[in-house]
Every structure is written in structure tokens, then in C-alpha cells.
Amino acid sequence: QVQLVESGGGSVQAGGSLRLSCAASGYTFSSYTMGWFRQASGNEREFVASISWAGDSTYYADSVKGRFTISRDNAKNTAYLQMNRLKPEDTAVYYCARDRRPRGSPPPDFRSWGQGTQVTVSS
């Protein structure tokens, strides 16, 4: 049974940093592309970043490029999202997601989701 558990959210002032973690279990973590999404109140869920199962390819939404970094530690079955220079518009619930297919070719098809972690950035 796939389980994704996010942590690391919180409240921070604009310009600050947070690192989100996604602890995965129930499957072979190293075989799946992972992603981060976010959903602000009243908005649809949007893509933030993804990292390939091999860890050799990353993709970012234009809104976070240059500020956020996605990474993974296959030995720890954990994906990360380092968020720097945070802005009030980054305020949202952040979700970790897993591709449906093992060793899948892009684009990923995210079908498994965590419960989310709240990030609040004040001005």
C-alpha cells in the first residue's frame, strides 16, 4: 500500500526558507518519479516540481524556478522540496505525489498523493 507523508510545513516571513519532506513507504521508492504540487485556498492544485526516478531530471513551474529545489534520497525513501526566498503567493497546502508507472518515461502520471502540509508566508 502506497503511503506518502509530508512534513516540514509551517509559517515563515517573506524571504525565508523551508524544507519539505515526503516520506514514502509501501513500494520501491527508487523506481518512481516523484512530484510536488500545491493548492492555495480557492485555487486548483498546481504543479510545483518533479524529479525523475533516476534523479537525473528535474522540472519546475516557472513561478518557483530558481527559488525551489527538488531532490530525493533513495536510501531514505524520501523526497524533498527546498524552498528559498519564499513569497506570500507561495502560501498553500503542499502535496507530495508519485507517478503511476515504475521507471516511467515523461511526462509522469501522478496518481498517488500525500495528505499535504500547510505553508504560510507572511509579508
Residue-level pLDDT, tens digit, the chain, 123 residues: 999 999 999 999 999 999 999 999 999 999 999 999 999 999 999 999 999 999 999 999 999 999 999 999 999 999 999 999 999 999 999 999 999 999 999 999 999 999 999 999 999
State the DSSP H helix or E strand holding residue 92, giving kind and residue range, or none if neither. strand 92-99
R_g of the chain, CA atoms, integer Å: 14
Query: Using CA atoms, how far apart are residues 85 and 107, in angstroms rounded to an integer?
Result: 28
